[in-house]
Structures are given as C-alpha cells and as structure tokens.
C-alpha cells in the first residue's frame, strides 16, 4: 500500500483501483480493513484499533483517501467535509472530449430505485440533490481527453454521471455509458489531490496521488 502521509492523527493513502473503501458483499479486503490491520501490526496496538473512514471512493476508482487515527481528528475533519471546506481534484480519461473544453456543470441527481445507479436531471425533481463541478481539458489523444475535475459537492457517482450526461463517459465506466471494460475492471477516474486543514496543526495541507503510468493513462 502506498502511504502518502502519516502522523499520530491522520493516515493518507493512495487507494488502489478496484479496492473497496469499506467492506462489502464481496468480502474483499477494504482500505478500512487494511488500515486497522496496518496500525495494529505496525504499532503493536492491543485490542480494537480506532480508524475513521473520513470519505469514500468508488471501488473501481483510485487515488487519495483520508483516514483518521483518533476520534478527535475524525470529528474535526468530518466537519470540514460537511462544510465543504475540503478541496478535491480528480483526473479522468473520457471517451469523448468535452465541448466546450472547460466549464461548470450543475445537475440534480437521484438514485434509481433498487439499483446502485444515479440519474442526472437538468431541473430539480422529487428526492433529487444538487450536484456541481467544474472541469478543464488538460490534453487530448484522438477523441479521448484527460480532464481535470473540481467537484463542489460530494454526491454519489457525481463525476461519473455528470460527465456521462454531457456525452463524455469515463473510460471503462460501462455503468454510465458506452465504454468497454478496462482489463482490471477499473475506471479511469483518479482522486488526484485532497486539501484539508490538519486537525491539530491547524495548517492547510495538500496530498497528491500521482497519475498512473500504465494502462490507458500512458496515452497522456
């Protein structure tokens, strides 16, 4: 596991693609499971180990994920997430180049009943939640594009469904459009940067996961 930062309060990890953030029906090891075992083994902690999963990344995505090692840190960072003070930057490879090449997207997202799929609407509908992001094309290779995304809200599958709604499906994301599976069943969406205020040092810190140098990422 690639640890990006660690101290007595925080554990910041570069989550591998296709590893769940927390346990699911598959029974596969999750980031949460790994973190508890890592802390217990590394520091010879007796009994139950505290780990706070501060946010989640979809299983097929990779990149920066933050965990708390104390309940006080978890409380303070969770409050930053709730108040939208945590800044996130994502990178995605899309099957089509967005037009225009930069802009803002606003949709209303609603979960499809009985399915783990969100639907985007241009106008508010019953039980929908507003989703906002800005994007910028960084590079192109044929029809595909490397896109930087700055989400303002943190809705389920937000980036995936909002990009798909403008005809720019993320490579490998067959759930949201006409793409083909990546060999490892990942999708080309990376949580690239995460900026937050340290819970005790009170200073702003940015953690970064490098862009992968394999697979479709090598095109860029």
Distance of CA 202 to the CA centre of its chain: 24
Give, in order, the Cα–Cα distances in Å from 168 to each of 46, 95, 180: 49, 6, 14
28 catalytically annotated: no
Catalytic residue among 7, 28, 41, 58: 58
Distance CA 189, CA 25 (A): 23
Pairing, β 129-141 against β 118-121: unpaired
Which residues are known to be catalytic? 58
């Amino acid at each position: 596991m690639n640890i990006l930062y660690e101290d007595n309060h925080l554990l910041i990890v570069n989550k591998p693609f296709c590893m769940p953030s927390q346990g699911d029906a598959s029974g596969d090891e999750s980031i949460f499971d790994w973190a508890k075992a890592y802390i217990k083994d590394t520091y010879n902690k007796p009994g139950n180990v505290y780990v706070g999963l501060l946010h989640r990344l979809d299983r097929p995505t990779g990149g920066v994920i933050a965990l708390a090692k104390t309940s006080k840190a978890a409380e303070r960072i969770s409050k930053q997430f709730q108040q939208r003070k945590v800044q996130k930057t994502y990178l995605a490879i899309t099957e089509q180049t967005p037009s225009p090449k930069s802009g803002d997207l606003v949709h209303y997202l609603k979960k499809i009943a009985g399915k783990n799929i969100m639907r985007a609407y241009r106008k508010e509908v019953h039980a929908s939640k507003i989703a906002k992001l800005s994007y910028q094309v960084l590079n192109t290779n044929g029809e595909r594009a490397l896109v930087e995304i700055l989400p303002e809200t943190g809705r389920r599958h937000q980036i995936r469904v909002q990009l798909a709604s403008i005809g720019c499906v993320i490579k490998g994301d067959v759930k949201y459009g006409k793409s083909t599976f990546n060999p490892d069943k990942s999708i080309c969406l990376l949580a690239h940067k995460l900026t937050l205020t340290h819970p005790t040092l009170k200073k702003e810190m940015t953690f970064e996961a490098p862009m992968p140098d394999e697979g479709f990422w090598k095109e860029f």
